[in-house]
């Protein structure tokens, strides 16, 4: 390394204030999935100023609020992508921070404000070192992760094809790990997610004369309880699986039997076969259960869904080595997989790569869960994200 070039640690440290400021700016102006207009504008502006080739708009990126930044290094190398999600959640923020959300009903409660700031800063640092950069770095800023819609649109629009991306990496900040740590593991790390709706159709009437009606609420209740037996009696007990109903709607008065009852829920699994089995069995189970109560059930599955996040062995090993080199082996852990989902899985289905955790738990109090209105991020995590991210990208770009 030449004398004029700072080490990454120093370079990132010298940009720490800007990095945190950028994250706070996104935090103050959260935007919901597919409405990330201001956020995308800020990202595109920063990348343009740094000299990247910037693509925006539906045709080039698959979504109005997606941004792709392409950075051609001056040395030969590989084409590697870094993916960051940028959307916020429909929550009213509780903590009274100076950079608290200025938008009622929207809040960055998952850390995507941090993901965006980290990725922009990485792009700016690499752009400043274009002369020593091998290959082509592609920065993918994806909208609508929380609704699991953004990744597919971007992949379908060809963001991995032009230029031809070989591998995709990315981080998720997590308050399950202390700031300063990185978590990486090969194999499944996050579950698949399938949205489903069960509509039970009966025949309404007076609550005092149930024999003259077909009660969809009783039928739906039995479907709800019995559904759990699909997990406990039909799935290999060594394979994790979850079926949760998070929403029930039926009726609007205590003494009227309604015509229909609707339940909405989520199926989670790590193994594709388990996922397929539950998706397939739910329909048959619900409709037969309903029939036992003279009702009818219709199951719709799809919409918001994605496969499990699975890290190939080689790429997870690469991240582990790079992170250990950057922050020390003792700070790199292999946390257990989680049943949460992320449509980074679609990028990793399309190309090898790795999705890894960067610890962001507050230092002075127990963390509020992600997606909670009291969620807070330890901003020390941002510099760790940038440093490990740069090491991962530089290593992959320069790979023989």
- Would you say 344 and 151 are in contact if contact means Cβ atoms under 8 Å apart? yes
Q: Minimal distance in Å, beta carbon 95 to Zn ion?
A: 17
Q: Minimal distance in Å, beta carbon 93 to Zn ion?
A: 15
**384 or 397: CB nearest Zn ion:** 384
Q: What whole-number distance in Å separates Cα of residue 381 and Cα of residue 399?
A: 27
Residues 43-102, interacting with Zn ion (CB under 5 A): none
Please tell me the count of residues contacting Zn ion according to CB under 5 A. 1
Q: Minimal distance in Å, beta carbon 322 to Zn ion?
A: 22
Could you give the dihedral angle defined by the CA atoms of residues 9, 15, 16 and 20, in that order, rounded to the nearest 10 degrees? Answer: -140
Is 87 annotated as catalytic?
yes
Residues 97-156, interacting with Zn ion (CB under 5 A): 110
**205 or 373: CB nearest Zn ion:** 373
Owner of token pair 């399309």: 350
Beta bridge partners of 306: 193
Is 145 annotated as catalytic?
yes
**15 or 370: CB nearest Zn ion:** 370
The residue nearest Zn ion at its CB is: 110
Q: Minimal distance in Å, beta carbon 17 to Zn ion?
A: 25
Q: Minimal distance in Å, beta carbon 139 to Zn ion?
A: 18
Given 36, 124, 145, 166, the catalytic residue:
145
Q: Minimal distance in Å, beta carbon 311 to Zn ion?
A: 17
Picking from 113, 83, 144, 97, the residue whose alpha carbon sits closest to that of residue 19 is 113
Q: What whole-number distance in Å separates Cα of residue 90 and Cα of residue 340?
A: 18
Given 31, 36, 87, 124, the catalytic residue:
87
Q: Minimal distance in Å, beta carbon 112 to Zn ion?
A: 6
CA 84-89-91 angle, 5° bins = 150
Q: What whole-number distance in Å separates Cα of residue 301 and Cα of residue 292?
A: 22
**46 or 172: CB nearest Zn ion:** 172
Q: Is position 189 an interface residue for Zn ion (rule: CB under 5 A)?
A: no
Owner of token pair 């799809």: 302
**289 or 361: CB nearest Zn ion:** 361
**91 or 110: CB nearest Zn ion:** 110
**46 or 370: CB nearest Zn ion:** 370
Binding site for Zn ion (CB under 5 A): 110
Point out the residues that are catalytic.
87, 145
């Amino acid at each position: 390394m030449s004398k004029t070039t700072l080490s990454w640690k120093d370079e990132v440290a010298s940009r720490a204030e800007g990095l945190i400021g950028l994250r706070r700016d996104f935090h103050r102006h959260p935007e919901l999935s597919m409405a990330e207009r201001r956020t995308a504008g800020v990202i595109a502006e920063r990348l343009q100023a740094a000299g990247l080739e910037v693509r925006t708009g539906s045709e080039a990126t698959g979504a109005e609020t997606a941004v792709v930044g392409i950075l051609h290094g001056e040395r030969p190398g590989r084409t590697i992508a870094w993916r960051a999600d940028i959307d916020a959640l429909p929550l009213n923020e509780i903590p009274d921070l100076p950079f608290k959300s200025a938008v009622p009903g929207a809040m960055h409660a998952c850390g995507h404000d941090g993901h965006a700031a980290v990725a922009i800063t990485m792009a700016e640092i690499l752009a400043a070192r274009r002369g020593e950069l091998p290959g082509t770095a592609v920065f993918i800023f994806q909208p609508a992760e929380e609704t699991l819609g953004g990744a597919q649109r971007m992949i379908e629009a060809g963001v991995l094809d032009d230029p031809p991306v070989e591998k995709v990496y990315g981080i998720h900040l997590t308050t399950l790990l202390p700031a300063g740590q990185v978590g990486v593991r090969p194999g499944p790390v996050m579950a698949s997610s399938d949205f489903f709706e069960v509509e039970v159709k009966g025949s309404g009437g007076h609550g005092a004369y149930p024999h003259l009606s077909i009660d969809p609420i009783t039928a739906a209740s039995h479907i709800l309880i019995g559904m759990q037996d699909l997990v406990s009696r039909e799935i290999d007990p060594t394979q994790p699986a979850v079926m949760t109903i998070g929403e029930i709607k039926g009726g609007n008065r205590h003494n009227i039997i309604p015509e229909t009852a609707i339940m909405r829920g989520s199926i989670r699994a790590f193994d594709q076969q388990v996922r397929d089995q539950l998706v397939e069995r739910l329909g048959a189970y619900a409709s037969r259960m309903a029939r036992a109560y003279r009702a009818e059930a219709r199951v719709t599955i799809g919409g918001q869904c994605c496969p499990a996040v699975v890290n190939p062995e080689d790429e997870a090993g690469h991240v582990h080595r790079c992170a250990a080199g950057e922050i020390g082996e003792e700070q790199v852990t292999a946390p257990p997989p989680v049943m949460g989902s992320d449509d980074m899985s679609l990028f990793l289905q399309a190309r090898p790569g790795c999705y890894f955790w960067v610890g962001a738990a507050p230092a002075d109090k127990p963390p509020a869960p992600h997606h909670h209105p009291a969620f807070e991020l330890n901003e020390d995590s941002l510099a760790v994200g940038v440093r490990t991210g740069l090491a991962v990208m530089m290593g992959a770009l320069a790979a023989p």
